[in-house]
C-alpha cells in the first residue's frame, strides 16, 4: 500500500518526495512508513523494485482472453508492455535525475547500480517472453516458425519501438501497425518484391 501510493509521487518528484507526502497519499501516519521501512531510501528502493518488477504486467498478459483474435491479443499485450516500460522508465529516470541510486549501500550484501542485476533482467525478459508465447500458442499452426521465435520478434520490435525516438514530424509505429508488420510483413503481397 505504501509503495503503491509512493510510485506516482516518486515519478513526479524523484528522491525529493517526502515521507510525509507519501503518508498522506497512502492515508496513513508518517510513523507507519518507518514501521515498514528503515528509511526513505528503502521506500525509494522498493518503488524501483516495484517499477521494474514484471508481476503486474505478467498478470495483465495472463488476463488477455485467448478467445480474442491474434491481432487483438497482441495489441493488448503491446499496450500492457508499453505501459510497463513507460512506468519503469519514468520512476527510474526521476530517481536517477534527482540523485538517488538504486541499491545504495545499506549494509552487507548491498550492491550499487541503477537497475536489477543481469540475472534478474534475463529472468524478467524470459518471463515476459513466456507470457507472450502463451498468447501465441492457440495459433501455433498458423506460424511459419515456432511461437518462441515469434514472441522474440514481437518483443524485439516492441522494445525497439519504445526506445527509439521518432524523427521530427514522423510518427512511430502504432501498436496496430507493429502487429501488422509482425504478422504480415511490409509488402503488399508477400513475394512481390
Q: What is the pLDDT of residues 52-63, one digit of tens each?
A: 899 999 999 999
pLDDT computed for residue 170 by the predictor: 62
Select from 3, 26, 22 the least CA-distant residue to 13.
22
Average pLDDT (81-109) is 76
Considering the chain, what is the average pLDDT of its residues? 85
Question: Confidence class of residue 107 from pLDDT cuts 50, 70 and 90?
Answer: very low
pTM: 0.76
Question: Measured between alpha carbons, how far is 106 from 174 in angstroms, rounded to an integer?
Answer: 42
Helix (H, G, I), strand (E, B) or coil at 189: coil
Domain ranges of the chain: 1-52, 54-97+115-184
Question: Confidence class of residue 99 from pLDDT cuts 50, 70 and 90?
Answer: confident
Select from 193, 158, 51 the least CA-distant residue to 115.
51
Question: Measured between alpha carbons, how far is 92 from 97 in angstroms, rounded to an integer?
Answer: 8
CATH topology (fold) of 1-52 = Arc Repressor Mutant, subunit A (1.10.10)
CATH number for the segment(s) 54-97+115-184: 1.10.357
Q: Residue 142 CA to chain centroid, in angstroms?
A: 28
Q: What is the pLDDT of residues 134-174, one digit of tens each?
A: 999 999 999 999 999 999 999 998 888 665 565 665 667 78
Amino acid at each position: 500500500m505504501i509503495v503503491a501510493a509512493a510510485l506516482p509521487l516518486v515519478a513526479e518528484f524523484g528522491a525529493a518526495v517526502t515521507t510525509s507526502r507519501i503518508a498522506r497519499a497512502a492515508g496513513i501516519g508518517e510513523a507507519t512508513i518507518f514501521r515498514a521501512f528503515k528509511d526513505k531510501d528503502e521506500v525509494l528502493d522498493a518503488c524501483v523494485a516495484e517499477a521494474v518488477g514484471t508481476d503486474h504486467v505478467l498478470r495483465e498478459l495472463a488476463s488477455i482472453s485467448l478467445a480474442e483474435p491474434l491481432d487483438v491479443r497482441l495489441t493488448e499485450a503491446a499496450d500492457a508492455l508499453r505501459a510497463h516500460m513507460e512506468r519503469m522508465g519514468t520512476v527510474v529516470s526521476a530517481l536517477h535525475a534527482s540523485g538517488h541510486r538504486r541499491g545504495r549501500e545499506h549494509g552487507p550484501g548491498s550492491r550499487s547500480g541503477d537497475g536489477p542485476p543481469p540475472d534478474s533482467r534475463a529472468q524478467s525478459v524470459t518471463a515476459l517472453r513466456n507470457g507472450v508465447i502463451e498468447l501465441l500458442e492457440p495459433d501455433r499452426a498458423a506460424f511459419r516458425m515456432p511461437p518462441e521465435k515469434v514472441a522474440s520478434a514481437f518483443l524485439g520490435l516492441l522494445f525497439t519501438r519504445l526506445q527509439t525516438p521518432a524523427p521530427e514530424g514522423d510518427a512511430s509505429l502504432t501498436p496496430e501497425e507493429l502487429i501488422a508488420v509482425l504478422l504480415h510483413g511490409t509488402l503488399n503481397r508477400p513475394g512481390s518484391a
